[in-house]
């Protein structure tokens, strides 16, 4: 069935361009003009091109391919064409603006900035085996993926089910694992999230399945609520903007006192797809997860974005002190012929040992625990906002 071009245009504009239009202050008429231009493009050629792309990319699968389609390109082109006429439209209603400043600011907010995608690619690594001993059962990637003849033989994984009741790791900060190889040997892994997921299987029929595990260092004395993720929320600009610009009113002494007595996660899952000035949604190439330290940790350790071209890295005078990594792989299929799906999606957060020891001394071991959250289920994949 041929989709309605206008409804499709409205949907893609809302999802793909809407956050950037909002970040630009919702210039009058921009959203509606983008929808009109996109509808015209979808009506004339883009839907036919998109359907042909889907036919070639999906073959026997109904899953949305990880690709930039003609309809996406049509909407992006419509947004840029509509934006090009904003200043003229404003002049017609009597609003005159400085052309250089106006168009520079509008460009910052509206352009499809690839920085997050580029940084994510630089931060991508082969799947590491570093994880706390209590979670060693998660090292085999989606072991049920190949179990097609005896339904239920490897699902649900008994160790994963048992781990759902585990709220924190015994031993506090001592339970954190140290990296054993690569350029960060000896660094401490203070956060980890990984999802093992398989798509619905056609022959024999099986639903989608997932196991998600999350580990995060937290300043707290009581047991956490079961099932909640061990992370705060943050914008990914913590990796790219100096903390003095993100929080100009932050007082280092106040932050020290907060860390010494507060109760909260010390790590965060950052919003890689939401809109924020200078870092709008980047579309294709976004990683599923980007972890980071909370802002008080950055202020306390007085870290700054690492100079040069890099992934996700914060430095002090001795060099990189906190880095985030992510990985994706272990292809599986859905019982058809194509395409293959990555069964593993994960990320972690590492801190240099000397800075970890400094943070640990200040927060104090009695107030440190390593929170764990494990989710096992069928059907839709878990939401990163589940708490």
137-182 per-position pLDDT tens digit: 999 998 888 665 455 567 889 999 988 888 889 888 999 999 998 8
DSSP per position, 27-44: -TTHHHHHHHHHHHHIII
Please give the C-alpha separations between residue 103 and each of 27, 80, 82, 158, 329, in angstroms, as whole numbers: 12, 12, 13, 58, 41
Pair of tokens at residue 26? 């919702």
Alpha-carbon distance 89 to 106, whole Å? 14
| Beta strand extents in 159-250 (DSSP E only) | 188-198, 209-219, 232-235
Alpha-carbon distance 115 to 212, whole Å? 27
Sign of CA dihedral 358, 362, 364, 369: negative
- Exposed/middle/buried for 276, CB within 10 Å: 0-12, 13-18, 19+? middle
Omega of the bond prior to 339 within 30 degrees of 0, cis?
yes
Whole-model pTM: value is 0.75
pLDDT of residue 327: 93
pLDDT of residue 347: 95
pLDDT tens string 367-383: 899 999 999 998 765 66
Please give the C-alpha separations between residue 197 and each of 252, 336, 382, in angstroms, as whole numbers: 42, 17, 10
Alpha-carbon distance 92 to 385, whole Å? 44
pLDDT of residue 308: 87
Most distant CA atoms of the chain, gap in Å: 72
Those residues of the chain that have pLDDT short of 50 are 149, 273-282, 386-387
pLDDT of residue 88: 60
pLDDT of residue 109: 56
Pair of tokens at residue 64? 């949305």
Name the nearest CA neighbour of 294 among 230, 248, 358, 343. 230
Q: Where are the domains of the chain?
A: 5-112, 128-378
Pair of tokens at residue 381? 């994949």
Residues in the chain: 387
pLDDT tens string 279-297: 444 456 678 889 999 999 9
Name the nearest CA neighbour of 279 among 117, 121, 122, 123. 117
First CA to last CA across the chain, in angstroms? 38
- What is the three-class DSSP state of 333? coil
CB-based burial, 207-218: b 16+ in 10 Å, e otherwise: ebbbbbbbbbbb
Alpha-carbon distance 166 to 263, whole Å? 20
Q: Please, are residues 335 and 201 in contact by the beta-carbon 8 Å criterion?
A: yes
């Amino acid at each position: 069935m041929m989709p309605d071009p206008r409804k499709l245009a409205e949907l893609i504009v809302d999802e793909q361009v809407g956050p950037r239009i909002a970040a630009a202050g919702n210039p009058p008429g921009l959203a509606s003009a983008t929808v009109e231009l996109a509808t015209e493009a979808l009506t004339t050629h883009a839907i036919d091109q998109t359907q042909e792309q889907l036919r070639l990319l999906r073959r026997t699968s109904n899953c949305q391919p990880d690709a930039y389609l003609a309809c996406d390109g049509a909407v992006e082109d419509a947004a840029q064409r509509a934006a090009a006429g904003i200043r003229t439209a404003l002049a017609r209603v009597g609003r005159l603006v400085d052309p250089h400043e106006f168009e520079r600011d509008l460009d910052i907010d509206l352009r499809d900035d690839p920085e997050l995608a580029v940084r994510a690619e630089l931060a991508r690594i082969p799947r590491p085996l570093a994880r706390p001993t209590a979670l060693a059962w998660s090292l085999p990637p989606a072991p049920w993926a190949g179990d097609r003849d005896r339904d239920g033989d490897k699902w649900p994984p008994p160790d994963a089910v048992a781990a759902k009741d585990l709220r924190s790791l015994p031993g506090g900060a001592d339970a954190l694992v140290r990296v054993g190889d690569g350029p960060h040997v000896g660094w401490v892994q203070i956060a980890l999230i990984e999802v093992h997921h398989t798509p619905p299987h056609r022959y024999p029929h099986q639903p989608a399945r997932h196991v998600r595990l999350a580990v995060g260092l937290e300043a707290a004395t009581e047991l956490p609520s079961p099932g909640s993720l061990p992370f705060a929320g943050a914008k990914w600009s913590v990796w790219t903007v100096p903390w003095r610009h993100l929080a100009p009113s932050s007082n280092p002494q106040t932050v020290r006192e907060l860390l010494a007595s507060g109760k909260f996660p010390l790590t965060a899952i950052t919003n890689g797809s939401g809109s924020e000035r200078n870092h709008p949604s980047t579309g294709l190439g976004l990683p599923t997860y980007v972890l980071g330290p909370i802002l008080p940790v950055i202020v306390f350790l007085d870290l700054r974005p690492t100079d040069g071209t890099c992934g996700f890295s914060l430095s002090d005078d001795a060099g990189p002190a906190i880095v985030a990594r992510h990985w994706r792989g272990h292809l599986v299929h859905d019982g058809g012929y194509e395409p293959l799906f990555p069964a593993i999606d994960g990320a972690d957060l590492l801190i240099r040992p000397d800075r970890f020891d400094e943070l640990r001394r200040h927060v104090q071991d009695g107030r440190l625990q390593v929170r764990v959250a494990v989710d096992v289920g069928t059907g839709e994949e878990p939401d990163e906002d589940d708490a």
